[in-house]
Structure 1
Amino acid sequence: MTMPHEAVSPPMARSLQAAESIWRTIEQEFGLLTSRDVAELLGSRKPSGSIASTLRNDGSIAGIMRGNSYRFPGFQFDTDHGSVVPVMRDLIAVARENERSDEDLVYWMTSPSSFFHEQDRPVDHLHDKERLLAAARDQFEGTF
């Protein structure tokens, strides 16, 4: 039995298209890793998805749902050392404490920010922990 589909308004269609474009840009620049990719990158002896799931659940890495599985933005991994960028746990904690999703965090990380005098993106400051966390708190804890 086929269910009738509701028509999508033009503004909603544009919004969905814009969101898809953002995810594709993130994938092109940083990669959106599968669970198996994460396991291999982190040197797991058994490259299954369980390590990525554990890390996502405990707030060590951000995961976004793409299709029917999670994908993990590559910027949160130090590929030279086969590890997670340490600041990610703190960033995820700030976002989750403020009821923001991993998707919200990833969007923010990859978007230009006026917090930085360079007007660049938070992802460009992954190795400046204090400055990056201050920007995250400013973004997610700010009141209007």
Structure 2
Amino acid sequence: MNEATEAFWLYVDREWGLPGRAEVAILLGTDPDLLPGNGSLLGVRLWQETVYPGFQFDRRTGRVLEAIPRLVSAARELGLGNEDLVFWLCSPSRHYGGDCPVEHLDDSDDVVEKLRLSESVEW
């Protein structure tokens, strides 16, 4: 992993956390072996383990935000991996006036539409 990539993941960890399977299982109230798969969670393989960016959880309710499975599905359709999706979510976007899309996860329809707009442009 190069320095810029390492710095990005350290930033994500500092801002939202990068909990592992056990911590996510506790948050969601399930066994780590029963964590939802098939695109329900946004997991990335870092530092020899799978971690889950903390911005995707409503820690108050112990649920995954509605936008996350929709974003993961749209990313797959666009040919983006989970790491690419996290990078897009945590980077300033012209679609949000310089805000990061992660700041707008409460508007599921809008953030999915903006992902499609920004990532389906062909040059």
TM over 0.5: yes
Task: Pick the structure with greater CA Rg.
Answer: 1
Q: Deviations over 1:89-135 (max 9, x none)?
A: 11001111111100000011000000113x10000001011221111
Q: For the residues of structure 2 that align with 1:63 and 1:143, how far apart are their CA atoms?
A: 27
Q: How many residue pairs align between the two structures?
A: 123
State whether structure 2 residue 112 is matched by structure 1 residue 141: no
- CA RMSD in angstroms, aligned pairs only: 1.3
- Unaligned residue ranges in structure 2 (runs of 5+): none
Q: For the residues of structure 2 that align with 1:21 and 1:68, how far apart are their CA atoms?
A: 17
- Unaligned residue ranges in structure 1 (runs of 5+): 1-14
Q: State the identity as a percent.
A: 33
Q: For the residues of structure 1 that align with 2:41 and 2:68, how far apart are their CA atoms?
A: 6
Q: For the residues of structure 1 that align with 2:83 and 2:12, how far apart are their CA atoms?
A: 12
Look up the equivalent residue of 2:18 and give its one-letter code.
L
Structure 1 outlier segments of 4+, above 6 Å? none
Give 2:16's match in structure 1, choosing from 24, 30, 33: 30
State whether structure 2 residue 78 is matched by structure 1 residue 98: yes
Look up the equivalent residue of 1:132 and give its one-letter code.
V
Q: Deviations over 1:18-75 (max 9, x none)?
A: 000000000000000100011000012x4x3x233xx2x3101111111221000000
Give 1:76's match in structure 2, choosing from 31, 38, 56: 56
TM-score, normalised via structure 2 length: 0.94
